Amino acid sequence: MINLLTPTHWKDYELIDCGDFEKLERFGNLVLSRPEPQAVWKKTLSEQEWKKRTHIRFKGRSATSGDWMKTSAQLPDRWNISYTNEEVSIRLRLGLTSFKHVGVFPEQAVNWDYISSSVRKFKAESPKVLNLFAYTGAASLIAKAAGADTTHVDSIKQVVNWANENQELSGLKDVRWVVEDALKFVKRELKRGKKYNGIILDPPAYGHGPNGEKWKLEDHIREMMQDVVQLLDEQEHFLILNTYSLGFSSVIVENLVRTSFPQAENLETGELYLQASSGVKLPLGVFGKFRKFRS
């Protein structure tokens, strides 16, 4: 069965509308307009409505960078939002970056719920969770807040520092921060005989490690999956794989999981999307996840 999943209870985030290769979003009290290559359809709301609602708009200078245009000079470059579910609560610092991101991928909230519920159900006193390609750390903090011994791996030092800021904002401590190429880290952990109860894989379509290592999803994801599943604790575990490549379907993700880890139980695959309050749905990648609890 292919699932379509979207966050449903996040008060500090709202997708208002999307279309014409843009999206209109509310983060806390600020409404941002920024490019969205998946939104190939026509906007539901009028241009006048978009303009009236928008506080800050991203204007691209190239395919990879641009500038934020504010309706008021008093609007901040940085601000905080919260995320709360039935088990945990975290705070995140957002910021206007030159490459249109703000420090969080809202569609991932459904996976945060899966992480916290899994960690809380594990029998281990301090379950170990590994977050790879971990960005600014929302998933790492969710795992930590739920009681996990958490390791956060990303190749970019600046975003790991950002994740550490989010840890302090959330009143948490002792996440293990690692600035390294994810695949190299996994291979080293295998040599050390390490095991994890939870593994989160959120790889980009393209990327680079701290020493110039090249990552291309299609070229490296099979090797990564075959290595990562060997780190899973046999008795109780979860694994989440997200992919953003336009060429990847949920069937590809299902095949990746089943060939890498045939014993996977409770496998779910599908598409993550954001439901706009205007009525349209914005697809934002595919996922595969499975978990096992000790009886």
Residue-wise burial string across 120-152, b where 16 or more C-beta atoms lie within 10 A, e elsewhere = eebeeeebbbbbbbbbbbbbbbbbbbbbbbbbb
Domain limits, CATH 3.40.50.150, in the chain = 79-292
Domain limits, CATH 2.60.40.1180, in the chain = 2-76
- For residue 202, give the nearest of 264, 250, 137, 277 by alpha carbon: 137
Indicate the CATH number for domain 2-76: 2.60.40.1180
Rg (CA), the chain: 19
Rounded to two decimals, what is the model's pTM?
Answer: 0.95
Domain 79-292 has CATH 3.40.1190.20: no
For the chain, 295 residues long, give each residue's pLDDT as a single digit of tens: 568 889 999 999 999 999 999 999 999 999 999 999 999 999 999 999 999 999 999 998 876 789 999 999 999 999 999 999 999 999 999 999 999 999 999 999 999 999 999 999 999 999 999 999 999 999 999 999 999 999 999 999 999 999 999 999 999 999 999 999 999 999 999 999 999 999 999 988 767 777 777 767 778 899 999 999 999 999 999 999 999 866 789 999 999 999 999 999 999 999 999 999 999 999 999 999 999 999 8
- For residue 155, give the nearest of 184, 181, 188, 186 by alpha carbon: 181
